[in-house]
Amino acid sequence: MHPENKHEKIILAPIHRVTTGDRILWSILAGLLLTGIALWVYQFIEGLGVTGLNRPVYWATYLTNFVFFIGLAHSGTFISAILRVAGQSWRAPLTRAAEAITLFSLPFGVAAILADMGRPERIFNVLFFGRYQSPLLWDFTAVGLYLLSSMVFFYLSLLPDIALCRDRLTDVPQWQQKMYRVLALGWQGTPEQFHRLERVLDGMAIFMTMLVVTVHTVVSWVFGMTVQPGWHTALIGPFFLLGAILSGTAAVVIVLSILRKVYNLEKALPVKLFNSLRKLLITFTLGWIYMIIAEYLTAGYGNMTEEMHVVQDKFTGDYALLFWGMVVLVFILPLLIFIFKGKNNIGWMVFASVLINIGMWIERYIVLVPTQVSPRLFHEMAHAKYFPSIVEIMITVALFAGMALLYTVFTRFFPIIPLWETAEELPTGELSHQPATTQG
C-alpha cells in the first residue's frame, strides 16, 4: 500500500486486511443466508402452508421485512442526496456508509416479496401482463428505478476512490487489482472529470430526492389503496416515508459507530457527526409521534365499527403489547436518551438507534397484521389469528444476515469513507494530492 497522506492511510487501512475474525463472521452470516435459501426452497416445494399465513392474513412477516428494508434503504438517499441538495457539507464522511445501506438493503426487500409469493416465478407476470390500474405495478416501477438509480449514484460517487485504490493498493492480490482496474473505467482524476462528476451527482441528488418520496409513498399505497381499516387513509404515504427516514437514519448511526470502532476511524468520523445525526433523529422521532397521534386520533374519533376493531386490537387487545412497546421503543426511550444522554456519547446514541429500529420493525408489523386479522366485512364473522412460523423467522434472519454479509465484505474491499469528498474538508497542506474539484 502506498498512501500519499495520513488521511488516505487511515481510510485505506481496513482494505487488504481480511482477518480471521472477518472470515468467521462472513462464514456465520453466509451460513444463516444459506439456511434461509434452503428453507425458501422447502417452502417453494411444500407451499405457503409451512408459514403462519392463512386466510385472511396474506401479508405478514415477509411483507413487514419488505417495508422495513425499503425504509432502511432511505438512509442513503436521505444522508447523501437530500443533505447534498441542502448543501450540508458535514454529511460528506457519512455518505458512502449510508448509500451502502441503501444498496445492500434494497435487494433483500425485493427478496422478501419473492419469499411471500407461493409461486415466485409469477413475478414476471408483472412484465408480461402488467396492468397499470394496480398499485403493485406502481411499486414495481418505483422500486426498480430506485434500485437502479441508487446503484448508479453509489457507483459514480465511488469511482474516484476505486481509481485511488487502483493506483495506491499495489500490494493486494492480482484479482483485486484487476477488479479495481476494471471498475475504475480508466478514471484519471482530471479537473474536467471531477467537474462533470459533481454536476451529475448534483442533478441526480435532486432526482433521488424525488424518488425517495415517491418510492415509500407508493409502497404505502399498496396497502392504502385497498379499502381496509387502518390502511385506507391519506396519511399512510407521509407516515411510511417519515418512518423510513427515521429508521434509515438510526441505521446509519449504528453502522457508522461499528465501522468507527472496528476500523479505528475515530478521526475520520468525529463525535460531532453523531451530534448532527442526533438532532435529525430528535426531529424525526417527534415527527413520528405526531403522525401516530394524527392517525389514531382521526380513526378513534370517527368511531367507525370496522376501524375500531383494529384500533382496539392495537390499544387494548391482542396487539397491545406490541403497540405500546413500539411507542416506548421508537419514541419515549430514544427521545429521553437523545435529550439527556446522547450528546457527545456514541454508546447511548447507538443504543437509542437500535431501539428505534426494533420499534420500527414492530411498527411495520403492527400496520400490516392487525388489519388483516380483522379485515373489512370479515370482522363481523370472526377474528383471525396469525403467528409467524419458524420458516418465516429463519428466512427473516437470513435476509438480515445477507445484508450484513454484503456490507461487511464491501467494507473490506472499498473505502467506506469517501476520500475524494472528505479531502475537500481537510486543511490545506494535510493532503499532497487534493482532487481538483470544481463545484458544478
Partner 1 sequence: MDIGNLVYAFFNNPGPGGVVVVTVLGLACVIYYFLTRWIVYGGKGK
Distance in Å, CB of 205 to partner 1, minimum: 13
| Site map 110..129 versus partner 1, x via CB under 8 A | ----------------xxxx
Three-class secondary structure of residue 18 per DSSP: coil
Residues pairing with 57 in the sheet:
54
The nearer residue to partner 1, 71 or 160, going by C-beta atoms, is 160
b/e code 49-74 from CB counts within 10 Å (16+ = b):
ebbbbeebbebbbbbbbbbbbbbbbb
- Determine the Cα angle at 418 with ends 79 and 183, to 5°: 115
Per CB under 8 A, 130 contacts partner 1: yes
Distance in Å, CB of 151 to partner 1, minimum: 9
Q: Which residue in the set 30, 145, 308, 332 belongs to the binding site for partner 1 (CB under 8 A)?
A: 145
Per CB under 8 A, 73 contacts partner 1: no
Q: How many angstroms separate the CA atoms of 260 and 91, rounded?
A: 15
Q: In whole angstroms, how far apart are CA 91 and each of 78, 80, 98, 236, 263?
A: 10, 7, 10, 29, 19
Q: Candidates 131-139, 169-177, 245-253, 407-415 — which segment interacts with partner 1 by CB under 8 A? A: 131-139
The nearer residue to partner 1, 151 or 354, going by C-beta atoms, is 151
The nearer residue to partner 1, 137 or 393, going by C-beta atoms, is 137
Cα-flanking dihedrals φ and ψ of residue 54, to 5°?
A: -165, 160
Distance in Å, CB of 149 to partner 1, minimum: 7
Distance in Å, CB of 142 to partner 1, minimum: 9
Distance in Å, CB of 174 to partner 1, minimum: 24
Q: Which residue in the set 54, 88, 134, 305 belongs to the binding site for partner 1 (CB under 8 A)?
A: 134
Q: Enumerate residues 6+ apart whose C-beta is below 8 A from 140.
A: 126, 130
Q: Which residue in the set 20, 174, 188, 428 belongs to the binding site for partner 1 (CB under 8 A)?
A: 188
The torsion region of residue 377 among left (phi > 0), alpha (psi -120 to 50) and beta comes to: left
Task: List residues binding partner 1 (CB under 8 A).
Answer: 126-134, 137, 140-141, 144-145, 148-149, 152, 155-156, 159, 185-188, 190-193, 195-197, 200
